[in-house]
Structure 1
Amino acid sequence: MKQASIPRPEYPRPQFVREHWLNLNGPWQFEIDHGCSGIQRGLYKDDVQLAQTITVPFAPESSLSGIGYTDFMNAVWYRRTFEIPGDWDGDRVLLHFGAVDYKAEVWVNEQRVGTHRGGYTSFSFDITAQLKAGANTVSVYAEDHLRTGLQPAGKQSSLYHSHACLYTRTTGIWQTVWLERVPQTYIASIKLYPDPDNAALHLEANIAGSTAGLQLKCESSYKGAATGSSTVQLGAMVAKTTIALSDVHLWQPGAPELYDLQLQLVRKADGAIVDAAVSYFGLRSIQLDGMAFRINGKSVFQRLVLDQGFYPDGIYTAPTDEALKQDIEISLGLGFNGARLHEKIFEPRFLYWADQLGYLVWGEHANWGLNVSKSEALEQFLPEWIEGVERDFNHPSLIGWCPFNETWDDERTGARQNNEVLRTVYEATKAIDPTRPVIDTSGNYHVVTDIFDVHDYDQNPETFKARYESLRTGEGEINVSFPARQQYEGQPYFVSEYGGIWWNPGQSDEKGWGYGGTDSRPKSEAEFIARYEGLTNALLEHPKMFGFCYTQLYDVEQEVNGLYTYDRKPKFDPAILHAINSKKAAIED
């Protein structure tokens, strides 16, 4: 059910699709609640008119929202009416939110249906019992207190203005809101384990409702041709099965072969279909082998770029689905084969395009803003992180997890990071997903990690290269950036942030920020390219370096070390950078 007249009309959960759904994006009533007093004032009640109109799913800070208010908002309110299609009678209705920053509380027809804490992950409520014939009203209250140190905020600025590598904030709804029709018993979620070595797909399905007398039927196909099926009797809320695949087509970077997957709940007595959903999967494996990162058994050098996930007019929210795809195409055009999705859990549509385009991505949470020196950080961080890992588990493009980035000590008290917070998150991630490597905290300070990475913004290619000579030769101390705080234990190694070369000709210094400061900026485009090539070659030519990640793909507000401008215009000839980035790496087979 695609509604092209509203913003972001595409299906928001592309790896688990049902036929019957209703997009609630578009005009909503809206009001800022600076005093967080709206519940006491009854702003959730149907007879109250909120002060403004906003365009969902764009945050009120963005121009696309129609609000454009960029000061701090302690809380905000939303309301709109909707009608349930007549053919949904007798079924359940789920109300879905792609993401609401930060703590959301939801009412339907003045009845509270639930709360959710976490600004980056999806959630839903069964609102069947609250619905009535005709017009229904949904009200949403969202609190956002990012300056408390008690919530992940990512790259959202804690000052009034954006500064350095921190940008405009996002408050409230910033992804699609939608309704979904499901039967009384339905497939709630699936977990896919591709197994190319055995030409199989292992599948785990969670079922909501009574499973008595039901079977789960799974059918795979490739470009319309059947490749395997499996039917399993349901006797519990979780079903596990394996599809033996008749044909093997590997999902690989740059060559993204994908299978289609049809799922049905079937009544055994008469063969009637109770529920149906469609999905897809990629057949690929991941293995750490010495210093190599292998995909389908082949050493693949990861030519990554840092992607912040910001947009001039939508802030956290891409203006269109095509804009998500375009960012990946820009990156591929520069010779990168993937990205660190930085300080933000990206929306499922981005991962969908990464799957479709054969683009490697690392999943990361928005830990900045959360004080990890306190044990309480675990309570704020882990539940949302688990939601993100579970939600995005099935995407073949996602090849690793990095829950934290640069976990600095508390600058106010001097308290060090609580290592047990990082250790617990690492162990929980591995328990949920044993199929992917986990970096505990990118850059610093490592506690327990499958991969050892460092951040290095040295602007001199010669000293930059020399710093990793001991890793190549095995003689001397390996660079770990903070030797008093972390220890290298022989893991696969890479520089997961480098470059950040300041380049903003024609823009005043007061409006720009980049790594190395104004004194070390290149004086010409030719000097920029020479520095870029020198830094990048040092990593490509290293026989024990499995990848790199350049900072960054495009400028964001005042941060001007992007290879494209904030409005996605190239600063340099992409072909020149593509030639540098796509050279064969020393570690590749």
Structure 2
Amino acid sequence: MNTRSFSLLLLMQVTLFISGYAQPDTWKMVDGKIKSQWAAKVDPANPLAEYPRPQMIRPGWQNLNGLWQYAITPKATAATSPTAFEGNILVPFAVESALSGVGRTVGKDSILWYKKTITLSSKLKNQAVLLHFGAVDWECDVFVNGQKAGSHQGGYDPFSFDITSLLAKGDQQEIMVKVWDPSNDGPQPRGKQIKNPHGIWYTPVTGIWQTVWTETVPTSYIVATKNTPDLDQSNVTISATTQNLQPGDMLRIRAWDGTTMVSEKEVTPTEAATLPVPNAKKWAPGSPFLYELTVGIIRKGKVVDEVKGYFAMRKISVETDAQGIQRMMLNNSFVFQYGPLDQGWWPDGLYTAPTDEALLFDIEKTRDMGFNMIRKHVKVEPARWYYHCDKLGMLVWQDMPSGDMGNRWESRPGVSGLGTEKERTPESEAIFRKEWKAIMDANYNFPSIVMWVPFNEAWGQFKTGEITEWTMKYDPSRLVNSASGGNFFPVGHIMDLHNYPAPAMPTPELFGQTQVIVLGEFGGLGLPVTGHTWQQKDNWGYQTFKTNEELLDRYKTFMESLTGLISKGLSAAIYTQTTDVEVETNGLMTYDREVIKMPVSELFESHKKLYNPSLVRMK
């Protein structure tokens, strides 16, 4: 072979490699770590295909999940989009995850780019096209056909852009997304993410990690709805945010029990409609009844736009028992709330469950084990997770993802002078307040959520009184746990102790018996299972056992202790945790969900005694 022939052959091989690497049908899960059984069920042509917003359903939508092109470029050149892309990434799995097909860390000095060409006709008559993102961590700019559609900051809340005016002639439309995420080098909410994972801190999550989709809507359309039940008055108040209405337009709201319409009302678009719900069926663990809901824009007697959703008749409140102790009430009755600390991480998808079946699995197993509540720990889930909790009757405590850490923690209620509040910059405060409000807005309609938790263990805790009071005022329909595990202040509805490994509680007399006493974290009993750990050695739990039998015996002693604490004033407890997460092996299940470490039936029987109503005497 002469030199010219060899050069041509080499050029052909390089060209084939580059073109093959960027083909839209190339994808392979990154090897090297454990994975769940659902990883094999991921369809790269249509991952997470379910409708992503079950509280506000319309028929005209297109799922954009699947293979996109990606590139990682220096932040110094962020003003210029890449001229070439490096390969394919499977959306909506974060770039660091195995399921993304990339498995690379980005960091504060780099920019992650996405690009995809979609089929979407620009021939629209009296219609608009909305581009929706379930969540992108953390800061992003979105471009459609080279024109900027908008920007967003916040890793845990959904956002949308009207892209109608940006559509090109024909059916082919190009979407590009530019993402920057400083992980723990920035002050933004990030939860357990850290650039050097270890201990209780995990792999970073950068970029798109929830469903991307388009929706075709009328030019006059419903943007959002808000549902607030009043169990005592047997009614529900519904309001809507709308866009581009015309004079004379009305909102028609209907509530349904199956095929039977329970109530109907028409109001002006700026009004809230209060609908009677006679003989209301209560939502509770074990009987999670959901009413169906339709909200429509009516113009001259015709429906212009309509969305379908649901609501529940559920009340969460505080009352004093016969001993003068504050108790947490569900539908005006005391129900001890007991559940696991659920961090929502996956060995293959990190923040993103491989499939909707996988997302549902954790909740179903939690219910089957006899828990009636889940604390969603410093993470926010996709809307479908809360929908599954609504359907299954699982109470939820929702944390604000932490960030901007560094202040000291004092875990003993009533001790002053040791714990400190974070001195945040104005930028850091603004980021927290904006994202906390957005998270509350996005998840307001889910009846399973009964408590907001702004802070955890002094992780970035600041202006506790002010943030707690704002949260209580912004959503008076739920309870507020100002700081799970401290630092403690006499604000909010809850005093929340963390204690490892055994159950414990502070005395109700602290702060003048004005707060409900809960055990926000305990347990952490570890059992590494060979073949099902993130790494082969150096795994840990708060207390580690060698056999399943030893683990179960110790756990049962904790349940006996909890029973005694309930009668003394405890209203709820959280066991750490649902699954192992990376090097933590203190889960009820292994990280891959292949092994449940204690028999489900025995857990169920151990938990039954916690819900005995005779343990607490109300007035």
TM bucket by the smaller chain?
Answer: 0.7 to 0.9
Could you say which residue in structure 2 is the equivalent of 1:378? 429
| 2:496 partner letter | D
Could you say which residue in structure 1 is the equivalent of 2:494? 451
Could you say which residue in structure 2 is the equivalent of 1:500? 524
Q: Does the CA contact (< 8 Å) of 2:78 and 2:111 recur in 1?
A: no
Unpaired segments ≥5 residues, structure 2? 1-42, 321-325, 407-421
Q: Does the CA contact (< 8 Å) of 1:93 and 1:179 recur in 2?
A: yes
1:203 to 221, 235, 238: 238
2:51 to 11, 14, 17: 11
* CA–CA distance in structure 2, aligned partners of residues 370 and 393 of structure 1: 27
Could you say which residue in structure 2 is the equivalent of 1:173? 208
1:357-436 mapped onto 2 (5 Å cutoff): 357-370=392-405, 372-376=422-426, 377-408=428-459, 418=462, 420=463, 422-436=464-478
Q: Which SS does the other structure have where 2:479 is aligned? A: coil
Task: Describe the superposition over 1:145-185 as per-residue Cα deviations: whole angstroms up to 9, x where unpaired.
Answer: 023241111111231xx211111111000000111112121
| 1:436 partner letter | R
Larger Rg: 2
| 1:510 partner letter | K
Runs of 4+ in 1 over 6 A off after TM superposition: none
Residue 73 of structure 2 corresponds to residue 22 of structure 1: no
Q: Does the CA contact (< 8 Å) of 1:390 and 1:432 recur in 2?
A: no
Task: Describe the superposition over 1:502-556 as per-residue Cα deviations: whole angstroms up to 9, x where unpaired.
Answer: 212547983312114xxxx335433322221222322233221111000001101
Residue 80 of structure 2 corresponds to residue 41 of structure 1: yes
Residue 268 of structure 2 corresponds to residue 239 of structure 1: no
Cα gap change, 1:99 to 1:505, in 2 (>3 Å): closer
Unpaired segments ≥5 residues, structure 1? 410-416, 479-486
Could you say which residue in structure 2 is the equivalent of 1:58? 93
1:308-327 mapped onto 2 (5 Å cutoff): 308-327=343-362
Moved more, 369-378 or 552-561: 369-378
Q: CA deviation at 1:58?
A: 0.7
Residue 556 of structure 2 corresponds to residue 526 of structure 1: no
TM-score, normalised with respect to structure 1:
0.88
Q: Which SS does the other structure have where 2:525 is aligned? A: coil
Q: Does the CA contact (< 8 Å) of 2:529 and 2:590 recur in 1?
A: no
Could you say which residue in structure 2 is the equivalent of 1:218? 253
2:313 to 280, 283, 307: 283
Q: Which SS does the other structure have where 1:198 is aligned? A: coil
1:300 to 330, 335, 339: 335
Q: CA deviation at 1:4?
A: 10
* CA–CA distance in structure 2, aligned partners of residues 18 and 206 of structure 1: 16
Task: Describe the superposition over 1:470-523 as per-residue Cα deviations: whole angstroms up to 9, x where unpaired.
Answer: 44xx6xxx5xxxxxxxx675301010100001212547983312114xxxx335
Q: Which SS does the other structure have where 1:577 is aligned? A: helix
Q: How many residues align?
A: 543
Task: Describe the superposition over 1:57-97 as per-residue Cα deviations: whole angstroms up to 9, x where unpaired.
Answer: 01111111111124646320001112224774431111111
* CA–CA distance in structure 1, aligned partners of residues 580 and 398 of structure 2: 21
Q: Does the CA contact (< 8 Å) of 1:539 and 1:547 recur in 2?
A: no
Coordinate RMSD, CA, aligned: 2.1
* CA–CA distance in structure 1, aligned partners of residues 79 and 45 of structure 2: 36
TM-score, normalised with respect to structure 2:
0.84
Q: CA deviation at 1:395?
A: 0.6
Q: Which SS does the other structure have where 2:537 is aligned? A: helix
Could you say which residue in structure 1 is the equivalent of 2:15? none
1:114 to 150, 161, 164: 150
* CA–CA distance in structure 2, aligned partners of residues 40 and 136 of structure 1: 22
Q: Does the CA contact (< 8 Å) of 1:105 and 1:114 recur in 2?
A: yes
* CA–CA distance in structure 2, aligned partners of residues 42 and 156 of structure 1: 27
Q: CA deviation at 1:192?
A: 0.6
| 2:586 partner letter | N
Q: Percent identity?
A: 36
Cα gap change, 1:88 to 1:329, in 2 (>3 Å): farther
Q: Which SS does the other structure have where 1:203 is aligned? A: strand
Could you say which residue in structure 2 is the equivalent of 1:413? none
* CA–CA distance in structure 1, aligned partners of residues 564 and 213 of structure 2: 49
